[in-house]
Amino acid sequence: MSTPSTFVAVAGAAGNLGSLIALNLRKRNIAVKALVRPGTTASRTQTLRDADVIIIEVDMKDVPALTEILQGATTVVSALQGLRDVILGVRKLFESKGQSFHSLRLLADFTKCAPGSNRNLDLRREFHTKLDASDIQWTSILNGAFMGLVTSGQIPLINEKWQKIMYFGSADQKLDVTTVPDTAAYTAAVAADPNPTPKILRIAGDSFTAHALAALVTRLRGETYAPMWTGSVGFLRMFISIVKLVIGGVETKPMPPWQGMQYLENMVSGKGKLDPLDNDRYPELAWTTIEMALKDADAEKAATKSKST
């Protein structure tokens, strides 16, 4: 594929989310340059190459190299994850030019969560302050928790052994979730949008309470599930403080256990609730519900179990 005169650059394109964003852009016939770390194995980018995505290995701290690579970029999308050096350092991608910038994968609404309640959101809040002080046109996409974390049990809401739906605080508090593919498709739509986009866009493939999730799992599995109170939000905050003190890693660990708990606290407290939602901005997109995701996850578990017997 010849080098295009204009393109969208995707930083972090070797990861699952970043690669899906790049592929969705190609479906929209948008030329894409995928920015990946030096030494990234070819197998991680082969699917992108097959879709005519241009793979560029570059050190994200090398401003002169980035300046040259990004000549002609209409938009830069960041799917990078990391700590201060990554989150705040990513601004170097855009310092030399006034390109549009889109970041994503914010699990809760950092504009509403209290400073100090979530380390990663604090870093993003600091980053957005720097963006506001620049001439960069930017948009951040807030997508709630990834739905697969719920269906896989990584967010321990569905307790299959006890047939309970675990919750902190109120069983009526709605939690926002979105699949990785849906997040990628929406991000690609934003990046390809020729019109100006808001600084903040909020999306959720589905939202549910503990009561609603219990009723849904009961209906799908034919076994009675009921909500089970795990503790108050205040108790969760206290527990997070203890775990954080014991484990540490504020400056060195991207996702220690207490960081996931901080996201959970933002959700169950209601302070990270995404409202209003911007799902309808691109009506051509379809959204995966928690019911659809649970059906797929249960079918996959059943198939795996069948193969092992």
- CA distances, 78 to each of 21, 114, 193 (Å): 10, 24, 16
Averaged pLDDT, 33-62: 94
Does residue 106 surpass a pLDDT of 60? no
Residue with the larger pLDDT of the pair 185 and 109 = 185
CA–CA gap between residue 73 and residue 7 (Å, rounded)? 5
Those residues with Cβ within 8 angstroms of residue 306's Cβ, 6 or more apart along the chain or in another chain: none
Average pLDDT of the chain, as a whole number: 90
* Cα-to-chain-centroid distance, residue 26: 20
Is residue 262 predicted with pLDDT exceeding 90?
yes
Q: What's the pLDDT at 96?
A: 46
The partner residues of 140 in beta bridges, in order of sequence, read 103, 200
pLDDT of residue 2: 67
**Residue 205 pLDDT > 70, yes or no?**
yes
The confidence score (pLDDT) of residue 98 equals 46
The greatest distance separating any two alpha carbons of the chain, rounded to the nearest whole angstrom, comes to 60
How confident is the model at residue 95, as a pLDDT?
56
194 exposure class (CB count in 10 Å sphere: 0-12, 13-18, 19+): exposed
Using a cut of 0.75, tell me whether the model's pTM lies above it.
yes
Cis peptide before 276 (omega within 30 of 0): yes
pLDDT tens, residue by residue, 129-184: 888 887 788 899 999 999 999 999 999 999 999 999 999 999 999 999 999 999 99
